[in-house]
Structure 1
Amino acid sequence: MSDTSATHWRNYDTPLLSPILDAALERFVTGGFHGTSIRQLAGAAGLSVPGLYHHFASKHAILAEIDRLAMEDLWQRSIAALADGAQTPLARFDRLVECLLLFHAHQSALAFIAFSEIRALQGQHRRAHIAARDRQQKLLDEVLEECVADGTFTTEHPRDASRAITTICTGVSQWYRPDGELDPAGVAKRYGEICAHAAGLPAE
Structure 2
Amino acid sequence: MKAEKTIGDMREFMQQSRYTTPPETDKQVLFESKLFEILLEEDGYDLLVMGKPEGSGCYCFVNNLLRAVMDKTVANYDLVIIDTPAGLEHFSRKTIPDLDDLIVVTDESRRGLTTGERIRDLAKEIELKYKDLYVVVNKVTPGRRMAVLENAKSLGLKVIGTIPYDECLAKFDLVGDPLMGLPDDSPAVLEMRQVIRELGL
Q: TM-score, normalising length from structure 1?
A: 0.27
Greater share of residues in helix: 1
Q: TM-score, normalising length from structure 2?
A: 0.27
Higher relative contact order (CA 8 A, sep 6+): 1
Larger Rg: 2
